[in-house]
Amino acid sequence: MRYVASREEMQNIDAYSINNVGIPGIVLMEKAALALEEVFLERIPTDSRVLIVTEKGNNGGDGLALGRLLLEEGYTVDFYEIGVIPHDSDSHQIQKHILEQMEADFLMKFPDEEYDVIVDAIFGVGLKREVAGRHREVIERLNQMEALKVAVDVPSGVDASAGQILGIAFEADITVTFGLPKVGLLLYPGADVSGEVIVKEIGFPNKAVEEIAPQMVSFTTDDLEYLPERKAWTNKGSYGKVLLIAGSKNMAGAALLSGTAAYKSGSGLVRIFSCEENRVILQEKLPEAILTTYDSEEKAWELLPESLSWASVIGIGPGIGQSAFARKLVKQVLTLGKAPLVIDADGLNNLAALLQEDTELRQLFHEYEGGMILTPHLKEMSRLTGEEIAEIRSNLPKAAASTADKGHVIVLKDARTIVSDGSVPSYINMSGNNGMATGGSGDVLTGIICGFLAGGLDILTAARLGVYCHGLAGDAAAKEKGYYSVLAGDLPNYLETILKRKHFPEEI
């Protein structure tokens, strides 16, 4: 697990490293420049022409130090310092002095020439307000130029805490960020202008990071170790019984996708509770599943209690529709269910309606004892909370944390999904891609989370790891099929290659 920092947290880590641990700022700056240089040497030929655009803060200092290292490597480097902020940072002054001693040229006006690479070292985590005036003009011109665009730490104009664009932002192809990923580089629209985000270690001591303890975390492949244990002496009863209440007439696919994903993520038994019309297709496509089907509402109410008491995990929602019957299904599950419960898709839409109109249900919902995971996308979240989508989007972590009730976990699905149980840290997901914005992808996620719960994970870990592995499966699928052609049905197959890493890391 690694921390993801807001602007203020990163500034505090900086300050703690320098003031309390005693690492000189100029040392950190040199390591930042070396980290940038490493990216250049790996990816950019040394005969390239580079324009480095700076201001007088430490972000600018990083840019100047990088320029010095690049000159030594043989790159052609022009420096353009905007220089309208009133004070130089100490480290910036030192870097400027060194370059003057080296007789490096500083351009007096914005260049008309062409460059292969443009480096944005105008503002980093010190950006505090709207970008205006000369800064705005320069960023506008840089964005119009044809070149590879590299941002130092944060693209200038991106609020490192929430990903908002403060007026205008440098549009980077690559952002080399120091120490920890910044929240603003991961959330949209900041993520859109950050390009590929490369995180480089520059010597912030662990003590500083632990002391500040940022409020967001993310997973890396090391965290696959949290996958449910598989012991030698076990049987299908050891890995849980998942009941999926999914599908309705003409909506067999949702049940099939979540059922397949639940099996592929390790469930011992998967039982699908659906309408009789779906029996044949489910039986053919997923013969491993136990089917409980109803051909009338009366039959459904007769069968449901036994199915619920059988289950060690319950998932409800994919493809159930929004009829009065589906609404009652959700209510019955909240009334009779005892196991950890995942509510998704139409399950959430029905829940939203019930919460508005039914006081008794509100109580059942708040007091559900088995633990609950809700997996809304922004529209479903808006229905659940009554908040506008734009408002939710303006601060996803806050929206997720404030909606998570006691014993509930919210999986707020977006290009960067947030998982929160209302406490800190919340989780921001860094796997996945736009190829997964396709019908049925959410049904697969529900199945994966149910499978991980069935394997014995607690609700928070199952939700975080489910989202992470779902994204990794999507990344593996996109790598082979391209972003246009990933189907939700592909994801359970690619999931195999991800989960396999826990026991066969050498084969990947």
Ligand X SMILES: NC(=O)C1=CN([C@@H]2O[C@H](COP(=O)(O)OP(=O)(O)OC[C@H]3O[C@@H](n4cnc5c(N)ncnc54)[C@H](OP(=O)(O)O)[C@@H]3O)[C@@H](O)[C@H]2O)[C@@H](O)CC1
Binding-site residues for K(+), in ranges, read: 59, 120, 156
Per CB under 6 A, does 28 bind ligand X?
yes
By CB under 6 A, which span of 23-31, 225-233, 266-274, 409-417 interacts with ligand X? 23-31
Positions 171 through 200 that interact with ligand X (CB under 6 A): 178
Among 58, 218, 429, 438, binds ligand X (CB under 6 A): 58
Partner in contact with 156, chosen from K ion, ligand X, none, beta carbon below 5 to 8 Å by kind = K ion
Place of tokens 């130090």: 65
**Shortest distance, position 23 Cβ to ligand X, whole Å:** 9
Residue from the set 67, 126, 247, 321 that interacts with ligand X by CB under 6 A: 126
**Chosen residue from 22, 101, 108, 129 binding ligand X by CB under 6 A:** 129
The answer to whether 193 touches 158, Cβ cutoff 8 Å, is yes
Pick what 128 binds: ligand X, K ion, none; C-beta below 5 to 8 Å, kind-dependent. Answer: ligand X
- Among 5, 77, 80, 124, which residue sits at the site for ligand X (rule: CB under 6 A)? 124
Q: Is 29 in the site for ligand X (CB under 6 A)?
A: yes
Q: Does the protein bind ligand X through residue 375 (CB under 6 A)?
A: no
Rounded CA-CA distance 320/328 in Å is 11
Asked whether position 260 contacts K ion by CB under 5 A, the answer is no
120: partner contacted, choices K ion, ligand X, none (Cβ within 5-8 A by kind):
K ion
Q: Is 58 in the site for K ion (CB under 5 A)?
A: no
Binding mask 446-475 for ligand X (x = CB under 6 A): ------------------------------
Rounded CA-CA distance 173/153 in Å is 13
What track of x and - describes contact with K ion for positions 66 through 105 (by CB under 5 A)?
----------------------------------------
| Token pair in block for residue 309 | 């008491």
Stretch that binds ligand X, among 152-160, 225-233, 453-461, 475-483 (CB under 6 A): 152-160
In residues, how long is the chain?
508
At residue 314, the 3 state secondary structure works out as strand
The set of residues, in sequence order, having a beta carbon less than 8 Å from that of 241 and lying 6+ positions away, is: 267, 268, 269, 270, 271, 310, 311, 312, 313, 454
Query: Of 440, 434, 413, whose CA–CA distance to 482 is shortest?
Result: 434
CB nearer K ion, residue 194 or residue 403: 194
Among 9, 14, 171, 443, binds ligand X (CB under 6 A): 14
What is the layout of strands, in order, in the sheet containing 216-218? Answer: 2-4, 216-218, 426-428, 418-420, 408-412, 372-374, 341-343, 313-316, 241-245, 269-275, 290-294
Q: What Cα–Cα distance (Å) separates residue 429 from each residue in 45, 225, 390?
A: 33, 17, 20
CB nearer K ion, residue 14 or residue 443: 14
Pick from 58, 156, 293, 307: which binds K ion (CB under 5 A)?
Answer: 156
- What is the nearest approach in angstroms of ligand X to the Cβ of residue 24? 8
Count of CA atoms in the C-beta half-sphere (13 A) of 55: 23
Known binding site: residues?
58-62, 120, 124-130, 153, 156, 254, 319, 377, 413-417, 442-443
Closer CB to ligand X, 212 or 392, in the complex:
212
Regarding 62 and contact with K ion (CB under 5 A), the answer is no
- Closer CB to K ion, residue 29 or residue 151? 151
Q: Applying CB under 5 A, does 152 fall inside the site for K ion?
A: yes
23 makes contact with K ion (CB under 5 A): no
Q: What's the first-to-final CA gap in the chain, in angstroms?
A: 21
DSSP string, 318-336: TT--SSHHHHHHHHHHHHH
| Residue 28 binds: one of K ion, ligand X, none (C-beta under 5 to 8 A by kind) | ligand X
Q: Which does residue 126 touch among K ion, ligand X, none (CB within 5 to 8 A, set by kind)? A: ligand X
Q: Which of 442, 447, 439 is nearest to 264 (CA)?
A: 447
Largest CA distance in the chain: 88
Q: Which two tokens stand for residue 460?
A: 């928070």
**Closer CB to ligand X, 67 or 440, in the complex:** 67
Instruction: Quickly list DSSP for 57-117.
Output: SHHHHHHHHHHHHHHHHT-EEEEEE---SS---HHHHHHHHHHHHTT--B-SS---S--SE
> Which token pair is 98?
């060194």
Distance in Å, CB of 156 to K ion, minimum: 4
Site string for ligand X, 252-291 (x = CB under 6 A): ----------------------------------------
Query: What does DSSP assign to residue 483?
Result: T
Distance CA 436, CA 463 (A): 18
DSSP element (H, E) containing 253: helix 252-264
Binding range to K ion, per CB under 5 A, among 19-27, 118-126, 344-352, 425-433: 118-126
Task: Choose the stretch contacting ligand X; rule: CB under 6 A; options: 39-47, 54-62, 363-371, 437-445.
Answer: 54-62
How many beta carbons lie within 10 A of that of residue 167, not counting itself? 13
Q: Hey, what are 46's tokens?
A: 């040394």
Tokens (6 digits) for 345: 């898709």
User: Which listed range, 38-46, 55-63, 306-314, 450-458, lies at the site for ligand X (CB under 6 A)?
Assistant: 55-63
Contact 6, 127 (CB under 8 A): no
Residue with tokens 């290292």: 69
334 CA to centre of own chain: 29
Using rule CB under 6 A, residue 125 touches ligand X: yes
Contact residues: K ion, CB under 5 A: 120, 151-152, 156
- Report the interface residues with ligand X, using CB under 6 A: 14, 25, 28-29, 32, 55, 57-60, 62, 85, 89, 91, 123-131, 135, 152-154, 178
